[in-house]
Amino acid sequence: MKTISICVLFVLAGITVMAQGETPNQFRPSKNNFSVEVNFKPFNANTPISIDGFKGRLFLGNKLAIRLGCNFATRKIYQETPIEYNNTTYFNSNDERYTVLGVSAGVEYHFLKTQRFSPYVGLILGYENKTSKAVYEDVEPYTSGGTYNYRMMTTESKNAWLVNSSFGNYEERGYSKLAANVVLGADFYLMKHLYMGVELGVGYNALLYKEIEITVDGSLDTKIPKGNENDFGINVNNAIRLGFWF
């Protein structure tokens, strides 16, 4: 899918570069112009336009621009499962949610003077934070005076979701992320004020995993210590950047 998106953009680039001489209008932004953009995924039928790659740029001239970006994602899953005990129906429930919020800032240098095609190189610094939590309520049988009874056991997990409520087995862990990337991209101006673009980068990412705390009926049961992960390599935005400048 990434290859298809990139190919589409380069076909558009070829068409627009050949058409540069057809009109004297200024397609590209210049000093004091501002642009905003989102991610465009034409082959995704559910959410073809996404704000997870929202970005704004202020052009200081024909070649230099500063940029500020943000991404936001949130998810909540709630499920109930009926359980039968002694001809009585009880319900186990899972309430899981997370939120991701990130910001980035940087500078771009655009190095061609063509009207419709504008490749650039840039330096980007970013920070991202993910919070995650879950609450599980399960019916638990117990014996009191030789008689079976049932009670609701509440398990809470901070900074992770538990898999099948099994301690030590988790997903969607919370983290803080620091990133520094050198990016190479290009803008293709389809008409005045409207553009599409692609971008890839190479850089360093530091992922700092948060401590996981698991409590059962309000009492601390398990702690999983912090962790970290570092990587250096190429990263690709698998969406087409769709933007407007004014």
**Dihedral (C-alpha) 63, 64, 66, 70: value to the nearest 10 degrees?**
30
pLDDT (tens digit per residue) in 172-183: 999 999 999 999
C-alpha 38/C-alpha 158 separation (Å) is 32
If one counts every other C-beta atom within 10 angstroms of the C-beta of residue 155, the result is 19
- Kindly write down the DSSP assignment for every residue of 158-175, as one continuous string: ESSEEETTEEEEEES--E
- Residue 112 parent element (H or E): none
Higher pLDDT, 167 or 63: 63
pLDDT (tens digit per residue) in 215-241: 999 999 889 999 999 999 998 878 899
C-alpha distances out from residue 63 to 17, 138, 193, 237, Å = 18, 60, 17, 22
Higher pLDDT, 87 or 67: 67
Is pLDDT of 147 > 90?
A: no
- Kindly write down the DSSP assignment for every residue of 12-62, as one continuous string: HHHHHHHTGGG-----S--TT-EEEEEEE-TT-SS-SEEEEEEEEEEESSS
pLDDT (tens digit per residue) in 185-210: 999 999 889 999 999 999 999 999 99
Tokens of 105: 């800032």
Rg from Cα positions in the chain: 25
221-234 core/surface letters (b: 16 or more CB in 10 A; e: else): eeebeeeeeeeeee
What is 2-245's CATH topology?
Porin (2.40.160)
Residue from 95, 162, 158, 168 nearest 131 by CA: 158
Domains of the chain, by residue range, sit at 2-245
pLDDT (tens digit per residue) in 2-49: 444 444 444 444 444 444 444 445 788 999 999 999 988 877 766 777
Q: What is the pLDDT of residue 157?
A: 94
**Dihedral (C-alpha) 233, 239, 240, 245: value to the nearest 10 degrees?**
-90
Average pLDDT over residues 62-90: 90
